[in-house]
Structure 1
């Protein structure tokens, strides 16, 4: 497992833009139907195993938490940004949300039948990825499922420019990964790939998108 990563800049950036981000993405209407098909398959796999509890790790303002709840799951969300968690609690007071880092999840091992990292690995450089997947695998119960969504490709982008253009003084970098890279990280954490979806970018997207489903050993 590689060294620690300083996430203070990411936390500050999302605290700054939390309200604007949540207003712009209030639900899953921005998701492609193929993306949501993977979320639906994940939810169905967790429910079919007999325990519908899911950890939405990096939940933001909770839009996917609400979507999964609507699919019959019992969802708990964590996010690094207190601003995002505050908005999630206002939007969905019936759900449990707390502030936590993906690299230090506040749960005992084997707690959840399902864990979702929906575009929440994207602000972590390669040096921090193994720790994220190790934590996700740790809190998964045997036979549990992990869903990961991310921008597909290589290199990184300064996405802070989008928010600076809206008048917010933030620095925020996004890292792209290939599906094979993510599969390798998950495999190192002891997880087996079940399915992957890789699609080309839509006109409004800069990069292609991927989502991958993994399973922990039974």
Structure 2
């Protein structure tokens, strides 16, 4: 049985790159983790976090696109909807932004979603695009099997500049020009993801599926770089 109190165990996680098109080029939403954080302290990151057990029970107004759903289920059958919910929940909690469709929840609203539902929305996964996967190497204080999602800021249902409902997990929330993002204090994997997404955006809009999904696999004794087709 998995020990739920063991923070070093490998946990599924979801991260969201929200990209805004501007006249000067694309900008991505980032914030800084606290200096006391156990994982990536004082680093600028994208909104994201670990999958909760309750995520599998949250309804989606619209499902994941078929190609995204299929790629997410490589090595993890049926995990796609829960990962989508985790991505939307983390975006909501850490930035106060809503990725959802107008509507009423079918049944009781979970505690984490009270404000989301009160705003008149149900989470929607249709705009999420799976663009990267990375497993944290062994020996780190926290280990995640993280799936990175890309969405266009135009898909956000609320004001993309209003972070007033964000929790305090990320500070200095801001739209960072992607051409300047590497000047920030970034984790290595964040730099790699940024490079891959920039390359994708040069050829396609945020709503397009990537040709392949890069995957840093650190489950074994040696790191392996793969691509999910």
With the length of structure 1 as denominator, give the TM-score of the two structures.
Answer: 0.30
Higher helix share: 1
With the length of structure 2 as denominator, give the TM-score of the two structures.
Answer: 0.29
* Higher RCO (C-alpha under 8 Å, 6+ residues apart): 2
